[in-house]
Amino acid sequence: MKMQDAINTSADKLYEDIGRSISVGIDLGEVDPEELRERGIRWFAKRKKELQEKVCNGYIAEVVLQEGRSWDQTLLLAAVADLIASLVVGVSPITVAALILKEGLHQFCSNNQS
């Protein structure tokens, strides 16, 4: 998925894309979008703490969270995707980064208990 597409895609569709990615190679027959979305939600929830530690404890989050200005979403998406690329093998880091930004970096990191 291209960065601009990810920015403009709903969270439900992003979760569905994750569900589809983690289902590749598993012969499940026809799977409806709702089941794919639920798989994506479970995948994200299972990895959220690890993602928070990587994103929220980094320099990019420090700068973004402390400066009270808006950021170019494409550049921020690219920066977050780069941070998490090693954690999301088999799933597009752009898709996962878009979900994090949809939640909002402030909200995502406020739940980080590190």
| pLDDT tens, position by position, 6-35 | 999 999 999 999 999 998 877 666 789 999
Element (H, E) at 39: helix 33-56
Rounded to 10 degrees, the C-alpha dihedral 104/77/25/41 comes to 0
Distance CA(39)–CA(62), nearest Å, equals 31
Count CA within 13 A, CB hemisphere, residue 62.
5
pLDDT at 114: 44
Judge contact between 43 and 99, C-beta under 8 A. no
Tens digit of each residue's pLDDT (9 = 90 or more) over 37-54: 999 999 999 999 999 999
**HSE (side-chain half, CA atoms, 13 Å) at 7:** 11
* Tally of domains in the chain: 1
Q: Which residues contact 55 (CB under 8 A, 6 or more apart)?
A: 61, 80, 83, 84, 100, 105, 108, 109
Domain of residue 15: give its range.
3-110
- Taking only the tens place, the pLDDT of each residue in 60-105 is 888 887 776 677 889 899 999 999 999 888 899 999 999 999 998 8
State residue 73's pLDDT score: 87
Give residue 65's pLDDT: 77
CA atoms within 13 A on the CB side of 16: 10
